[in-house]
Amino acid sequence: MSILALYCSTRRQGNSELLADIVVEGLNCTKIHLMDQHIEPIQDFRHAPEGFKPVHDDHAKLIRTMLNHDIFLLATPIYWYGMPGILKNFIDRWSTYYSDMTFKDRMSEKEVIVVMTGGDDPQIKGFPLIQQFYWIFEFMGIEFTHYIIGNGNNPGDVLRDLNALSKAEQLNHQLRMQF
């Protein structure tokens, strides 16, 4: 089994990345920072006679990479009580592949883990984002196996969240047993 970790922050070594790195430590994992990828926002041509037009960016390459992994982990900060724009653009663009039923079929073979961090009571105020992920993954038939919400606003804060660290270590242990 292989894991694709998508780091969805706009800074390196942010709290969500630090927590996700504990989850994937010692595992077969490909790591990609979405901020290093060029992903155009969606232009909705679902109902246009010609359909979606090709977009010359990194999205298709990322989709191919994602489809070549068994599990994908989204490591995301909570920005204004939601997901960062770069992650939203990435997910919105899934619509361009939706008419290709092999995409949905292949996605339904995947498992997803969400690791997210934020300040301002993230276990409560970040939960609507977990619900949004749940509905996205249910729509795609993707198994949403785990999530961890860590408390961290300033750089490194999450390393003091003993509950989140414990959950990340436990999940790492579970994943090691699967591999």
Question: Model confidence over 55-102: pLDDT tens digits?
Answer: 999 999 999 999 999 999 999 999 999 999 999 999 999 988 877 778
Residues of the chain with pLDDT under 50: none
Distance set, CA 145 to CA 32, 160, 175 (Å): 21, 25, 11
The pLDDT of residue 48:
85
The pLDDT of residue 96:
86
Are 67 and 100 spatial neighbours (Cβ–Cβ below 8 Å)? Answer: no
The pLDDT of residue 175:
96
Rounded Cα distance, 108 and 77, in Å: 25
Provide the residue count of the chain.
179
Q: What are phi and psi of 72, to 5 degrees?
A: -125, 140
Using DSSP, state whether 32 is helix, strand or coil: strand
Stated pTM of the model: 0.94
The pLDDT of residue 44:
85
